[in-house]
Amino acid sequence: MMMPRWAKSRWVVAPLVIAGATLAWNGYVALNDGGVVEGQVVDANGRPVPDATVILLERHFVMHNERQRTRTDGAGQFRFAGNDNHSLQLEAESASLGRSERRVMRLWFRAQNVRLSEPLRFTGKLP
Amino acid sequence: MLLPFYWVLKTAVTNENIYAYPPRLLPESPHLFNFVDVWYFIPFPRYLFNSLIVSVLVVASNVIFNAMAAYALTKSFPGKHAMLLVFLSCMLIPFQATIIPAYLITSKLGLLNSYLGLAFPLLSTIVCIFVFKAAFEAVPQSLVDAARIDGLNEWRIILRVLMPLSKAAIATNVVLAFIWSWNAFLWPLIITREPTMQTLPLGLARFLSYMEDTTGALYAFAAMVLAPSIFVFLMAQKEFIRGLTSGATKG
């Protein structure tokens, strides 16, 4: 079947491609915007740290303000739910190990479900 | 010519200081998160929507009203030369000089803080009237006469005969009207009362006032504001150039 000439016009094709890409992106966002932030906390030797406090900070213009706190489980895993920001920082602290480095996390959209690719690591130096 | 655009894009995908010396030609650790910041830190989608509505209004009205005015100017009538002189003279007056009366008229019409009010001063532009006039004058009079003999009235002659033969002029109108309305800053600044009615150029100013360390995000914003007008220009560039140069030479 021959396509009508107007359907091949760049004024039709280009907006349709843009609309399709926008729809696809919004579909992807809708499937992945649960606001879950997960990861693991380890010590300087790479061993999981249980019962460490993990702090979630979110960016507000030029400042990062604390938003949530949680504690790691026996395997050093932590999980935040209900994040609705796109620019975060994560930090872990423990009475025996001090503070971890602060990890900057930039998300592609608000409330993106994300899992840390590298665990939060304590350097081993006490504050 | 493309270097400034490249520099805007390069800075938008990094957080490099634009005053760094020696300047780097290639971006270092490029990323797209500055665009995400722009999208979320200000109501960018709302500004984009407002700018699109105003631009569509301006483009549509320019094509319609300018074509009608240009067709009238291709006819002979008493005072035509005086009217052309008035039109040309009006082109010499900068918009900033007439902004107060324009504001008062818009206010009397009750169009402050509305999309129509935002589009109001650009609903018809003299330059684009002359673009249409040149295109219509290039159409052989015999075609218009034949259409009239076939029973077409003046409206249909414009719509069915002149407009299809003036695609370059239409494209020029579309591109110019779009760029002017898209980039308008002063008029939206004085006519809008609520942040929700602001357009993208005003959003850029607002964004600047909010953020401090924003070199990358600022350039990302500029790139996002520029992208639609570059898109429209690229789509219509062939007709746009033809429309601007039609009537430039005789014979």
The pLDDT-based confidence of A125 (bands split at 50, 70, 90) is: low
Same domain for A74 and A13?
no
Burial of A89 (0-12, 13-18, 19+ CB in 10 A): middle
| Shortest CA distance from A84: residue in chain B | B40
pLDDT tens digits for range A110-122 = 999 999 999 999 8
Q: Are residues A71 and A25 in the same domain?
A: no
Give the confidence band of B246 by pLDDT, cuts at 50, 70, 90. Answer: low
Tens-place pLDDT, residues B183-241: 899 999 999 999 899 999 998 888 877 766 667 888 898 898 888 878 878 887 777 77
Shortest distance, CA B49 to any CA of chain A (angstroms):
15
- CA neighbours closer than 13 Å in the CB half-sphere of residue B112: 13
Structural domain of A7: 1-31
Average pLDDT over residues B159-166: 92
Cβ-based neighbour number of residue A123 at 10 Å = 12
- Work out the number of other CB atoms within 10 angstroms of the CB of residue B149: 8
pLDDT at A4 (0 to 100): 84
Whole-complex ipTM = 0.82
- Give dist(CA B208, CA B43) in Å, integer: 14
Q: What pLDDT, on the 0 to 100 scale, is given for residue B28?
A: 83
State whether A43 and A63 are in the same domain: yes
A83 and A109 co-located in one domain: yes
pTM for this entry: 0.78
Q: Which residues contact A91 (CB under 8 A, 6 or more apart)?
A: A54, A55, A57, A99, A100, A101, A102, A103, A120
Q: Strands, E, within B67-199: which ranges?
A: none
Are A90 and A56 a contacting pair, CB within 8 Å?
yes
Q: Which of B23-32, B83-92, B126-135, B151-160 is predicted with the least confidence, judged by mean pLDDT? A: B23-32
CA distance A87 to chain B (A): 8
pLDDT 10s digits, B45-99? 999 999 999 999 999 999 999 999 999 999 999 999 999 999 999 999 998 899 9
CA separation for the pair A90, A103 (Å, rounded): 5
Same domain, A23 and A49: no
Residues A79 and A45 in one domain: yes
Q: Do A87 and B37 touch (CB under 8 A)?
A: yes
Are A107 and A51 within one domain? yes
Domain B3-13+37-92+111-245 -> CATH class: mainly alpha
Round the average pLDDT of chain A to a whole number and report it: 89
Say yes or no: A23 and A41 in one domain.
no
pLDDT digits (tens, 9 = 90+) for A53-78: 999 999 876 788 899 999 999 999 99
Task: Please say whether the beta carbons of A95 and A112 come within 8 A.
Answer: no
Q: CA–CA separation, B199 vs B52, rounded Å?
A: 9
B210 close contact with A: CB closer than 8 A: yes
Q: What is the pLDDT of residue A123?
A: 81
Considering the domain architecture, whether residues A4 and A55 belong to the same structural domain is answered as no
Q: What is the bridge-based pairing of β-strands A77-80 and A63-71? A: unpaired
Q: What is the pLDDT of residue B249?
A: 55
Judged by a CB distance cut-off of 8 A, whether residue A62 touches chain B is: yes
Answer whether residue A127 is part of any domain.
no
Residue B248 pLDDT exceeds 60: no
Q: Which residue in A has a C-alpha nearest to residue B233's C-alpha?
A: A11
- Helices and strands in chain B, H and E counts: 13, 0
Q: How far is B32 from chain A (nearest CA, A)?
A: 9
User: In the prediction, which pLDDT does A91 show?
Assistant: 93
End-to-end CA distance of chain B: 33
Contact B36 A14 (CB under 8 A): no
- Looking at residues A82-97, what average pLDDT do you find? 91
Q: Which of residues 84-103 of B touch A (CB under 8 A)?
A: none
By the CB < 8 Å criterion, does A6 face chain B? no
How near does any CA of chain B get to the CA of A44, in Å?
Answer: 27
Query: For the domain that residue A74 is a member of, what is the CATH number?
Result: 2.60.40.1120
Kindly state whether B155 is in contact with chain A, defined as any CB-CB distance less than 8 angstroms. Answer: no
CA distance to partner chain B, nearest, from residue A60 (Å): 8
Cβ-in-10-Å burial (0-12, 13-18, 19+) of B71 comes to: buried
Kindly determine whether residue A61 and residue B211, on different chains, have CB atoms separated by under 8 Å.
yes
The full set of domain ranges for chain B reads: 3-13+37-92+111-245
Between chains, do A87 and B31 touch, taking CB under 8 Å as contact?
Answer: no
Tell me which chain A residues have a C-beta less than 8 angstroms from the C-beta of B211.
61-62
pLDDT at site B251: 44
Total number of domains in chain A: 2
Of B40, B211, B231, the CB nearest to A62: B211
Contacts of A62 in chain B (CB under 8 A): 211-213
Percent of chain B with pLDDT over 70: 94
Report CB contact under 8 Å: B31, A106: yes
Look at residue B3 and tell me whether its pLDDT is greater than 90.
no
| For range A89-105, the mean pLDDT | 90
- Residue B243's pLDDT is 66
Interface contact A107, partner B, CB < 8 A: yes
The DSSP line for A71-119 is: E--TTSEEEE-----SEEEEEEEETTTEEBPPEEEE-SSTT--EE-SS-
Residue B148: pLDDT band with limits 50, 70, 90: very high
